[in-house]
């Protein structure tokens, strides 16, 4: 089940279907696709649901679930697996048998038990069967109520090597997630809660994003970090289709340094007249997202998420081309060892970017940077509500 003939990671999601498109298999497929993976699925249950609740659930037989898995794995192969809603203890036990008999690949287990609407999606027997699945997981990603149902942190780590304790259900203004292993706490992320009523599918999206990034060969801590950025951008990009509990904007998340390599995402141009330049670029059809006349700085966004800035004043300098990369420090170290001379080594900036600068042979300034959600959503972004 190793890597195939292309560099596209083959990601299998084993989960329930959400007819509203916000969570489950549908959220997983969107997330895997946007992160550059090939999404494959084994549906465990069909749900009739919308933003208001779950009307009906029909669990598939374990034979059909395993048949879906066998069909794709023996033909296409698989590089990483995400397990979400299972629907029955029989499916959980049969899936554990299947995993035990095969060469392991990175597996993320999101122990779905209760829908965001409150509907129960796993009975006591199914939750008990989760124990076997946790022994095959690289990481388990429960929310706080699910973690309690599994017996707490120590109980999970007795079975799985790593646990992501998600703080979304805490109700606090700051959301804190903790990556914990048997050796202790590995990493902690704390970010302001994004004020939106449209958070249906956050857990599914996070776990499938982690799975895809692991399937690309990324280390667990880095995969969690980038997956969290994907979720936060999807929350910000929610399409607002219903008053509340609506789907996130998984399909609207563009490449915000969530994929390997260098990405041309930003250019800053010098300007002479701030007002005239702002008028010009807005008339051109770009969306203004930063307006700072006191600093002589404005930023505009194109439809694909790429941004262009203008800067006036004596300190504006010339044009600067920005290349975004997730592995900024490692890349700068590599380039330095190859003889590239940097005018500025990586530095954290107060606008949330980390930047390094060098010049090309013609003297043009290049900025290598890492920004995550701060590229499209800096603290001073103009409200679009």
As a CATH number, domain 10-252 is: 3.40.1190.20
Output the pLDDT for position 170: 77
Cα(193)–Cα(238) distance, rounded to whole angstroms?
A: 15
CATH architecture of 263-376: Roll (3.10)
Cα(264)–Cα(315) distance, rounded to whole angstroms?
A: 24
- In 3-state terms, what secondary structure has residue 208? helix
Output the pLDDT for position 267: 95
- Reported as a single tens digit per residue, the pLDDT across 155-211 is 999 999 999 999 987 778 899 999 999 999 999 999 999 989 999 999 999 999 999
Q: Which of the residues in the chain have pLDDT under 70?
A: 1-6, 114-122, 255-257, 316, 384-385
Q: Which residues of the chain form beta strands (DSSP E)?
A: 10-18, 38-50, 53-59, 80-83, 107-109, 139-140, 162-165, 174-181, 184-192, 263-270, 287-292, 297-301, 307-311, 320-324, 342-348, 354-359, 365-370
Output the pLDDT for position 243: 93
* Cβ pair 282, 288 in contact under 8 A: yes
pTM of the model: 0.90
Domain ranges of the chain: 10-252, 263-376
* Cβ pair 61, 33 in contact under 8 A: no
């Amino acid at each position: 089940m190793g890597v195939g003939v292309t560099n596209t990671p083959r990601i299998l999601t084993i989960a329930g279907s959400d007819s509203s498109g916000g969570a489950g298999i549908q959220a997983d497929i969107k997330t895997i696709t946007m992160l550059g993976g090939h999404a494959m699925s084994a549906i465990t249950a069909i749900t009739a649901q919308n933003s208001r609740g779950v009307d009906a659930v029909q669990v598939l037989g374990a034979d059909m679930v395993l048949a879906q898995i066998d069909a794709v794995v023996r033909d296409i192969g698989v590089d990483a697996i995400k397990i979400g809603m299972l629907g029955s203890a029989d499916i959980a036990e049969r899936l554990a048998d299947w995993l035990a008999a095969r060469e392991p690949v990175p597996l993320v287990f999101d122990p779905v038990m209760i829908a965001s609407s409150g509907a129960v999606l796993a009975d006591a027997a199914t939750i008990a069967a989760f124990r076997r699945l946790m022994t095959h997981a690289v990481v388990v990603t429960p929310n706080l109520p699910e973690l309690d149902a599994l017996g707490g942190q120590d109980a999970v780590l007795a079975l799985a090597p790593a646990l992501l304790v998600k703080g979304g259900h805490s109700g606090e203004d700051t959301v804190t997630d903790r990556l914990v292993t048997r050796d202790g706490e590995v990493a902690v992320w704390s970010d302001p809660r994004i004020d939106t009523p449209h958070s249906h599918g956050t857990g599914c999206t996070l776990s499938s994003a982690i799975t895809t990034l692991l399937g690309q060969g990324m280390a667990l801590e880095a995969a969690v970090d980038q997956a969290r950025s994907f979720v936060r951008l999807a929350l910000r990009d929610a399409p607002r289709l219903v008053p509340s509990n609506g789907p996130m904007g998984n399909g609207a998340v563009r490449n915000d340094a969530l994929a390997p390599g260098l990405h041309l995402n930003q250019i800053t141009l010098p300007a002479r007249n701030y007002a005239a330049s702002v008028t010009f670029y807005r008339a051109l059809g770009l969306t203004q997202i930063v307006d700072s006349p006191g600093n002589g700085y404005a930023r505009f966004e194109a439809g694909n998420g790429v941004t262009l800035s203008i800067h006036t004043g004596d300190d504006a300098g010339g044009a600067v081309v920005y290349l975004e990369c997730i592995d900024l420090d490692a890349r700068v170290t590599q380039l330095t060892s190859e003889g590239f001379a940097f005018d500025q080594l990586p530095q954290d900036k107060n606008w949330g970017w980390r930047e390094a600068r060098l010049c090309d042979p013609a003297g043009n300034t290049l900025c290598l940077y890492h920004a995550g959600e701060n590229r499209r959503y800096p603290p001073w972004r103009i409200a679009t509500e």
